[in-house]
């Protein structure tokens, strides 16, 4: 049973990611019959640490406090080229004795430096996925998910995804009722639909040549039409085989996959900015019908069109009338 939790900090710690761990595991909610953890903030770099926001954090706890922990959380911090060997040794010893370790955002680089990601799948903020894969080629980086549970190593993506991972741990240890109660106190959903793929910006690729550039622009303007490789090749004045080869070389993908991705992007834009029905948006984006669009949304983003709209819908709020009362 989870009872003892430690958050270990490096210099340049990110306050929000630390705050997530403190909020889930560091508050006394015994008045509601919820678990109370023996919680401590541990320093890996002396009694006083700086944060990337400019203020300092002081704690009396050093790395020896990690020996007592059932769960060690590593929040995001500035990413140096090397990490304190004493911290890496402490994390390896912890995992060897069965302690869980949790990273929030770039804290995953610490776990990688300790060798704890080798052979494991892991999550990280999508902006750091490529760098993590280069630094630690023996791990399988998944840039689309909110968190990955490869017990005893649990990794989460950026910022608020740490909340999802922390609540997941609570759910595993104490059940859904406890996790839901903590989520209500935090005013957050106990479980979010989809993964971080729905938050990733994916602009059109910049191609090194311009052989298919004109066709790409035409395709983007005609996403609602049924397009074939033969038709596209004719527009590029190439044979279908040559066109497919050039397209792959210049965009890194096939015409079919490129069209699917652009149709998903078009649908995302319409879901965010219009009140059109999902069926109408599916037609405008070139999916044909809502069922086909839902299928492709789930494959690409891990969520449904309706769930995406609820999360990202742009609403115009009228300015309130002036009054003498507080809201």
- Domain extents for the chain? 4-198, 213-312
Q: What is the pLDDT of residue 313?
A: 73
d(CA 29, CA 185): 9
CB atoms within 10 A of CB 252: 11
CATH architecture of the domain covering 4-198: 3-Layer(aba) Sandwich (3.40)
pLDDT band, very low/low/confident/very high, at 326 (cuts 50, 70, 90):
very low
First to last CA, the chain: 43
d(CA 240, CA 213): 16
Q: What is the pLDDT of residue 200?
A: 55
pTM: 0.67
- Give the DSSP per-residue string, 29-94: -GGGT----EEEEEESS-SEEEBTTS-EEE-SB-GGGGGG-SEEEE--B---SS--HHHHHHHHHH
Please check whether residue 72 is in contact with residue 92, taking contact to mean a CB–CB distance below 8 angstroms: no
d(CA 44, CA 65): 11
Q: What stretches of the chain show up as alpha helix (H) in DSSP?
A: 15-25, 85-96, 108-113, 129-135, 161-174, 176-186, 213-221, 229-235, 240-251, 255-273, 278-285, 290-301, 305-312
Residue 128 gets which letter from DSSP? G
Q: What is the pLDDT of residue 283?
A: 95
- The residues that bridge with 153 in the sheet, in sequence order, are 101, 150
Q: Which of 156, 27, 36, 34 is nearest to 101 (CA)?
A: 156
Q: Which of 193, 214, 216 is nearest to 203 (CA)?
A: 216
d(CA 160, CA 11): 21
**Strand 121-123 relative to strand 48-50, pairing:** unpaired
Q: Is 150 helix (H, G, I), strand (E, B) or coil?
A: strand
Q: What is the pLDDT of residue 273?
A: 84
d(CA 21, CA 175): 18
Q: Is 6 helix (H, G, I), strand (E, B) or coil?
A: strand
Residue 39 CB partners (closer than 8 Å, separation 6+): 5, 6, 7, 22, 25, 26
Q: Which CATH number fits domain 213-312: 3.10.110.10, 3.10.20.90, 1.10.10.60, 3.40.50.970?
A: 1.10.10.60
Please check whether residue 296 is in contact with residue 285, taking contact to mean a CB–CB distance below 8 angstroms: no
What is the per-residue pLDDT across 215-225, written as a single tens digit (0 to 9) for each? 888 888 899 99
Average pLDDT over all residues of the chain: 87
- Length of the chain in residues, anyone? 327
What is the per-residue pLDDT across 67-118, written as a single tens digit (0 to 9) for each? 999 999 999 999 988 999 999 999 999 999 999 999 999 999 999 999 999 9
């Amino acid at each position: 049973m989870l009872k003892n939790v430690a958050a270990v900090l490096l210099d340049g710690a990110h306050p929000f990611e630390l705050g997530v761990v403190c909020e889930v595991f560091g508050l006394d909610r015994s008045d509601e019959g919820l678990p109370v953890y023996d919680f401590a903030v541990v320093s890996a770099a002396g009694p006083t640490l700086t944060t990337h926001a400019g203020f300092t954090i002081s704690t009396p706890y050093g790395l020896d406090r990690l020996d007592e922990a059932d769960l060690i959380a590593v929040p995001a911090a500035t990413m140096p080229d090397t990490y304190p060997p004493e911290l890496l040794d402490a994390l390896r010893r912890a995992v060897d004795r069965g302690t869980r370790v949790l990273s929030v955002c770039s804290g995953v680089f610490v776990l990688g430096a300790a060798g704890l990601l080798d052979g494991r799948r892991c999550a990280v903020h999508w902006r750091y996925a490529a760098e993590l894969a280069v630094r630690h080629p023996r791990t399988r980086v998944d840039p689309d998910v909110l968190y990955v549970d490869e017990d005893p190593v649990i990794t989460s993506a950026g910022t608020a995804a740490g909340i999802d991972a922390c609540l997941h741990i609570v759910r595993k240890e104490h059940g859904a009722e406890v996790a839901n109660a903590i989520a209500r106190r935090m005013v957050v959903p106990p479980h979010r639909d989809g993964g971080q793929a729905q938050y990733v910006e994916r602009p059109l690729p910049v191609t090194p040549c311009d052989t298919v550039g004109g066709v790409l622009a035409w395709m983007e303007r005609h996403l609602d039409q049924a397009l074939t490789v033969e038709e596209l090749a004719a527009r590029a004045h190439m044979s279908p085989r040559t066109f497919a080869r050039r397209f792959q070389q210049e965009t890194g993908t096939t015409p079919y996959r490129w069209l699917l991705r652009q149709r998903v992007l078009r649908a995302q834009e319409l879901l965010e900015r219009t009140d059109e029905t999902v069926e109408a948006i599916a037609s405008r984006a070139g999916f044909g019908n809502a069922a086909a669009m839902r299928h492709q949304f789930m494959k690409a983003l891990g969520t449904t069109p309706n769930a995406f709209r609820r999360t990202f819908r742009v609403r115009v709020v009228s300015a309130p009338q002036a009054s003498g009362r507080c809201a």
